[in-house]
């Protein structure tokens, strides 16, 4: 069952009922100011950091689920309704929500009155613009009132939802004309403020939540002031400040009125915090006056429909450009819309926000993940390489000089998060992978010389190359009894915690150090991760390639020897006969072996092992992939492990605490499905690669939205696995490494257009039924118009490759570097 449709020509998903099976959201903003907005206008805004600079309040895990946002209420002759249906939930005569690239349009119609609200965050602007167009489509004149509503968060979202003894007494506002300012703590220790304004005279306002609602027993669904058709002109003093504008409107039949609201954020320099004069119309209880110059300038930028139209056009062109770098035309519409629109869009969102703020991530728990952000770059780097470069330097600066990494950092402070600490065994490798991806995309070898400090030597002069070196050797220097990497607190799978042995509620599986291992430095020196071994052999060659390019042949040979040794160790100690083991636990026992009672096979190490060609001569690659198909494949994707754990295995950590079929315990973790898609494509089984791709790609789940529940235009982290009661149900949509990895899987492995250090590889692995396809790729300043022909209907194999008519050996198109358009023709066979 569907709840809308894709409008590809406008790059929108159109939702035609407010009652989607889960709130279907969009993100506005891609620089400093961000908003989450659901199809009923729920959600919130923040500046840069979802925890430390929360602008509007949102209550997670609420009942009903999505309650709180920026709401417009209309009182038309006693009938109160919202254009987005919620929160009043008066049945609408018409409803539509269009989520587009950085904007959302919500339309509602009731009794002949139509309200169309366009929400967006303009480029280089710290505010959300909301244009409301009201049209009387009836045959008689209409007199009605409209109320806006935004609830301020008292800046630190964590504190805001816990520290009530203080917070209930700190709220402060100022009101000037049609603008309501939020200035809590401004006088003392903050130099930022927020405002909510409308470009017209108002007939009243409310800034105190209880006054707006009329009673502490009311919710957003029945505010007294709206029902009464009149604001109460309340002035907030502590408690919960809000911003609501009230306006009376009369429209003749056919007449329209446009109102532009702006929810903005601004910072003042310390010496310009206060205004010297107090305007006569200013409402405040303070002796000081906020310096509002920045707000005035921001308001002036979008206070007419023409300016709004220009802002939207600028946003549209920005996305047009971002999406013009990799464009595909395949026989499959769903592939086209994923690659050309939605997957790339989601990659931008994950790049911006890592795992911080979604409808499943509260924005207060996690900052930016070291592992997560590095992987996000893989799917984003071609869009704005300069931002990727900046991010790489930020992330690397939180690394320690021995190659260890803080697992997370706060974007506002750019400092490693001491609460979660380090010792996640895979972290350093993702740094190598993302820096290599950046160089392959841009050819900017200069990044290796960039000065990047270490967290434990902030003033020291160090280069990015040194970071790669310590990353590589952090693995080599921390091997266990089988010569495999130590598992430490966790590897990619945060829930395989082999040094934890937790038996006390509340202990974090990721950060708790069992006394047993404390003396050894915090983790077992026995437990080893086969996943990290495979990731090392897959990623290591990029490091070797970098050293070779720099002419450091000796170092390259030394690193290659370590990779070869790791492959040998893995094959000798970690091949289980039909697939690779997952780990050795702290007791030296195998995890993920046919000998195990449960959890006999795990997905994570397999794809990287196959692509590293470990044991290829002995057929380990195909055996492994066949085992995955046999044990992990199901209707909605590949489960993480099988059989699911039904008991608590204290030696494995968090994983077995989940009911079977969810999350890391045999859920369909879409992130690592991509690694198998890549591996299947790598070995040339394009059919299988595509089968796995299409099981989880959002556009393919659209038809079963009633089962899948989350947005059909973006990936979620997980889908309930075959052991789950809710088999096929999506969860944790939006912020997941799945976005980047599936972008890599489809664009670089299936469609096969992959940047390399010395050119653009074109080596597809597709369903044999395809006659061919086209890719337009902007790469290092040139444009490559690539046409792939598949006359023999094979999956893989480049028979002939020509660039501008000249045949080329192999399948790497050399960089022309002339800024021109080049025709690449590839014949498979």
- Segment contacting ligand GLC by CB under 6 A, of 306-314, 367-375, 464-472, 643-651: 367-375
Q: x/- site string to ligand GLC, residues 501 to 540, per CB under 6 A?
A: ---------x------------------------------
Consecutive H or E run containing 38: strand 33-38
Q: Are 358 and 733 in contact (CB under 8 A)?
A: yes
Q: How many residues bind ligand GLC (CB under 6 A)?
A: 14
Give yes or no: 494 in active site.
yes
Q: Which is nearer to ligand GLC, 342 or 669 (CB)?
A: 669
Bridge-based pairing of strands 256-267 and 192-198 is antiparallel
Kindly state whether residue 372 participates in binding ligand GLC, applying the rule CB under 6 A.
Answer: yes
Minimum CB separation of residue 656 from ligand GLC in Å reads 12
Binding segment for ligand GLC (CB under 6 A), chosen from 148-156, 328-336, 364-372, 701-709, is 364-372
Name which position in 116, 156, 562, 664 contacts ligand GLC (CB under 6 A): 664
Q: In angstroms, what is the minimal distance from the CB of 500 to ligand GLC?
A: 11
Of the candidates 148, 168, 179, 192, the one whose C-alpha atom is nearest the C-alpha of residue 54 is 192
User: Residue 335 or 739: which CB sits closer to ligand GLC?
Assistant: 739
Subset of residues 713 to 732 that bind ligand GLC, contact rule: CB under 6 A: 717
List binders of ligand GLC among 7-66 (CB under 6 A).
none
Decide whether 82 or 670 has the Cβ nearer to ligand GLC.
Answer: 670
Candidates 75, 135, 736, 747; binder of ligand GLC (CB under 6 A) is: 736
**Long-range contacts, 701-707 (Cβ 8 Å, 24+):** 701/730, 702/2, 702/6, 703/1, 703/2, 704/1, 704/728, 705/1, 705/2, 705/3, 705/20, 705/21, 706/1, 706/21
What is the token pair recorded at 313? Answer: 């056009």
Two structure tokens written together for 821: 């358009």
Sheet containing strand 583-584, edge to edge, reads: 528-529, 583-584, 590-591
Q: Which positions from 443 through 502 interact with ligand GLC, judged by CB under 6 A?
A: 492-495
Q: E strands, 236-361, where?
A: 241-251, 256-267, 282-283, 326-329
How near is the Cβ of 742 to ligand GLC at its closest, in Å? 14
Token pair, residue 756, equals 């390399």
Structure tokens at 420: 């979660």
Least distance CB 493 / ligand GLC (angstroms): 5
| Binding segment toward ligand GLC, per CB under 6 A, in 98-106, 282-290, 366-374, 573-581 | 366-374
Shortest spacing between CB 424 and ligand GLC, in angstroms:
8
138-177 residues near ligand GLC, rule: CB under 6 A: none
Give the sheet arrangement for strand 4-7, strand by strand.
4-7, 12-15, 94-99, 103-110, 113-120, 127-136, 256-267, 192-198, 179-182, 173-176, 282-283
If the CB atoms of residues 369 and 660 are measured against ligand GLC, the closer one turns out to be 369
Helix axes 370-380, 427-442, angle to 10 degrees: 20
> Considering beta carbons, is residue 371 or 708 the nearer one to ligand GLC?
371
**Least distance CB 507 / ligand GLC (angstroms):** 12
Report the alpha-carbon distance of residue 139 to residue 282 in Å, rounded: 41
Q: Which residue number, 206 or 654, has a Cβ lying nearer to ligand GLC?
A: 654
Spatial distance between the Cα atoms of 514 and 501, rounded to a whole number of angstroms: 7
Closer by beta carbon to ligand GLC, 20 or else 362: 362
Kindly state the smallest distance separating residue 7's Cβ from ligand GLC, in Å: 30
Alpha-carbon distance values, 474 to 455, 466, 477, 532, 571 (Å): 16, 12, 5, 12, 21
Q: Select the residue interacting with ligand GLC from 663, 695, 731, 796 (CB under 6 A).
A: 663
Q: How far apart are CA 154 and CA 148, in angstroms?
A: 19
Window 630 to 659, contacts with ligand GLC (CB under 6 A): 654
3-class secondary-structure state, position 426:
coil
Of 157 and 826, nearer to ligand GLC (C-beta) is 157
Helix (H, G, I), strand (E, B) or coil at 618: helix
| Helix, strand, coil content of the chain in percent (nearest 5) | 30, 30, 40
- Give the nearer residue to ligand GLC in terms of CB position, either 360 or 579: 360
Q: How far is the CB of 427 from ligand GLC (least distance, A)?
A: 9
Question: Which one, 717 or 748, has the nearer CB to ligand GLC?
Answer: 717
Pick the piece of the chain touching ligand GLC (CB under 6 A) from 341-349, 365-373, 410-418, 747-755. Answer: 365-373
The residue among 324, 415, 373 whose CA lies nearest residue 101 is 324
Q: Can you say whether residue 42 is alpha, beta or left, with left for phi > 0 and alpha for psi between -120 and 50 degrees? A: beta
Burial 31-68 (b: 16+ CB within 10 A, else e): ebbbbbbbbbbbbbbbbbbbbbbbbbbbeeeeeeebbb
- State the residue number with the nearest CB to ligand GLC: 494
Q: Is 355 in the site for ligand GLC (CB under 6 A)?
A: yes
* Closest C-alpha to 503, from 673, 377, 615, 654: 654
Q: How far is the CB of 371 from ligand GLC (least distance, A)?
A: 5
Shortest distance (Å) from residue 495 CB to ligand GLC: 5
Give me 374's structure tokens: 């590095």
Distance CA 483, CA 492 (A): 19
Q: Which two tokens stand for residue 758?
A: 């010395």
Tokens coding 255: 């007449």
| Rounded distance between C-alpha atoms, residue 538 and residue 610, angstroms | 9
Query: Which 772-791 positions form the footprint of ligand GLC (CB under 6 A)?
Result: none
**Which residues have CB under 8 Å from 675's CB, separation 6+?**
603, 604, 606, 607, 608, 741, 745
Closest C-alpha among 455, 449, 443 to residue 394: 455
With a CB cutoff of 8 Å and minimum separation 6, the contacts of 519 are none
Single out the catalytic residue among 423, 426, 427, 494: 494
Shortest Å distance, C-beta 654 to ligand GLC: 5
To ligand GLC, the closest distance from the beta carbon of 773 in angstroms equals 31
Residue (427 or 711) nearer to ligand GLC, CB: 427
Of 480 and 716, which CB lies nearer to ligand GLC in the complex structure? Answer: 716
> Could you give the CA distance from residue 240 to residue 50 in angstroms, rounded to a whole number?
19
Compare residues 160 and 427 and give the one whose CB is closer to ligand GLC: 427
- Least Å distance, CB 366 to ligand GLC, is 6
Q: Does 604 bind ligand GLC (CB under 6 A)?
A: no
Q: Which residues, in sequence order, are bridge partners of residue 103?
A: 120
Which residues are annotated as catalytic?
494
Contact residues toward ligand GLC (CB under 6 A) are: 355, 369, 371-372, 492-495, 510, 654, 663-664, 717, 736
């Amino acid at each position: 069952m569907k709840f809308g449709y894709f409008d590809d020509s406008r790059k929108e998903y159109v939702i035609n009922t407010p009652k989607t099976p889960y709130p279907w959201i969009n993100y506005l903003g891609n620089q400093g100011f961000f908003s989450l907005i659901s199809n009923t206008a729920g959600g919130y805004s923040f500046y840069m950091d979802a925890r430390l600079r929360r602008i509007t309040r949102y209550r997670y895990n609420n009942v009903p689920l999505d309650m709180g946002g920026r709401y417009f209420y209309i009182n038309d002759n006693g009938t109160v309704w919202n254009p987005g249906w919620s929160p009043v939930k008066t049945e609408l005569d018409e409803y539509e929500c269009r989520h587009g690239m950085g904007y959302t349009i919500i339309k509602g119609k009731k009794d002949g009155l139509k309200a169309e609200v366009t929400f967006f965050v303009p480029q280089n602007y710290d505010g959300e613009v909301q244009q409301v167009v009201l049209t009387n489509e009836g045959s008689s004149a209409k007199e009605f009132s409209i109320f806006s509503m935004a609830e301020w968060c008292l800046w630190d979202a964590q504190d805001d939802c816990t520290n009530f003894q203080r917070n209930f007494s700190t709220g402060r506002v100022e009101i000037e004309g049609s603008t309501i300012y939020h200035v809590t703590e401004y006088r003392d220790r903050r130099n930022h403020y927020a405002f909510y304004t409308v470009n017209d005279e108002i007939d009243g306002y409310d800034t105190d939540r209880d006054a707006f609602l009329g009673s502490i027993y009311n919710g957003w669904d029945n505010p007294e002031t709206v029902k009464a058709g009149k604001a109460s002109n309340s002035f907030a003093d502590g408690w919960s400040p809000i911003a609501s504008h009230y306006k009376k409107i009369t429209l003749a039949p056919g007449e329209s009125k446009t109102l532009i609201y702006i929810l903005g954020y601004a910072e003042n320099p310390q010496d310009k915090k206060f205004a010297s004069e107090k305007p006569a119309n200013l409402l405040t209880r303070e002796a000081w006056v906020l310096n509002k110059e920045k707000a005035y300038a921001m308001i002036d930028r979008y206070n007419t429909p023409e300016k709004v139209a220009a802002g939207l056009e600028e946003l549209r062109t920005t996305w047009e450009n971002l999406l013009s770098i990799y464009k595909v035309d395949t026989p499959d519409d769903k592939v086209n819309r994923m690659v050309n629109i939605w997957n790339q869009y989601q990659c931008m969102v994950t790049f911006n926000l890592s795992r911080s703020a979604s409808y499943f991530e509260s924005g207060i728990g996690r900052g930016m993940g070291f592992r997560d952000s590095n992987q996000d770059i893989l799917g984003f780097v071609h869009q704005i390489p300069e931002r990727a470069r900046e991010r790489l330097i930020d992330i690397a600066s939180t690394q320690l000089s021995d190659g260890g990494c803080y697992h997370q950092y706060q974007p506002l402070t750019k400092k490693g998060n001491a609460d979660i600490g380090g010792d996640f065994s895979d972290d350093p490798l993702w740094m190598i992978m993302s820096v290599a991806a950046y160089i392959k995309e841009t050819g900017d070898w200069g990044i290796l010389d960039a000065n990047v400090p270490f967290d434990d030597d902030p003033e020291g002069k160090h280069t990015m190359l040194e970071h790669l070196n310590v990353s590589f050797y952090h693995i080599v220097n921390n091997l266990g009894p089988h010569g495999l990497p130590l598992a430490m607190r966790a590897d990619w799978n945060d829930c395989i915690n082999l040094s934890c042995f937790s038996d006390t509620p509340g202990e974090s599986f990721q950060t708790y150090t069992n006394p047993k291992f404390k003396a050894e430095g915090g983790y077992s020196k026995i437990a080893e991760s086969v996943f990290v071994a495979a990731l090392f052999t897959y990623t290591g060659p990029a490091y070797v390639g970098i050293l070779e390019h720099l002419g450091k042949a000796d170092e390259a040979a030394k690193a290659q020897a370590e990779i070869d040794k790791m492959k040998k160790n893995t094959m000798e100690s970690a091949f289980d006969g039909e697939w690779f083991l997952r780990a050795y636990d702290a007791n030296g026992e195998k995890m993920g072996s046919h000998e195990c009672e449960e959890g006999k096979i795990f997905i994570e190490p397999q794809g990287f092992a196959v692509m590293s060609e470990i044991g290829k001569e002995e057929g380990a690659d195909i055996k492994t992939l066949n085992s995955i198909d046999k044990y992990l494949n199901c209707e909605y994707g590949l489960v993480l492990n099988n059989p699911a754990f039904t008991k608590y295995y204290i030696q494995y950590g968090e994983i077995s605490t989940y009911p079977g079929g969810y999350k890391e315990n045999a859920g369909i973790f879409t992130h690592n499905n991509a690694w198998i898609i890549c591996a299947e494509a790598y070995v040339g089984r394009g059919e299988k690669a595509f089968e796995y791709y299409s099981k989880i790609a959002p556009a393919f789940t659209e038809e079963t939205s009633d089962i899948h529940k989350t947005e059909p235009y973006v990936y979620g982290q997980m889908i309930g696995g075959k052991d789950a009661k809710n088999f096929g149900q999506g969860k944790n949509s939006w912020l997941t490494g799945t976005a980047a990895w599936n972008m890599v899987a489809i664009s670089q492995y299936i469609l096969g257009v992959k940047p390399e250090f010395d050119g653009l590889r074109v080596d597809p692995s597709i369903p044999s039924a395809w006659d061919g396809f086209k890719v337009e790729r902007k790469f290092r300043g040139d444009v490559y118009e690539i046409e792939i022909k598949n006359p023999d209907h094979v999956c893989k194999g480049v028979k002939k490759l020509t660039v501008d008519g000249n045949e080329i050996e192999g399948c790497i198109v050399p960089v022309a570097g002339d800024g021109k358009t080049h025709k690449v023709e590839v014949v498979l066979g």
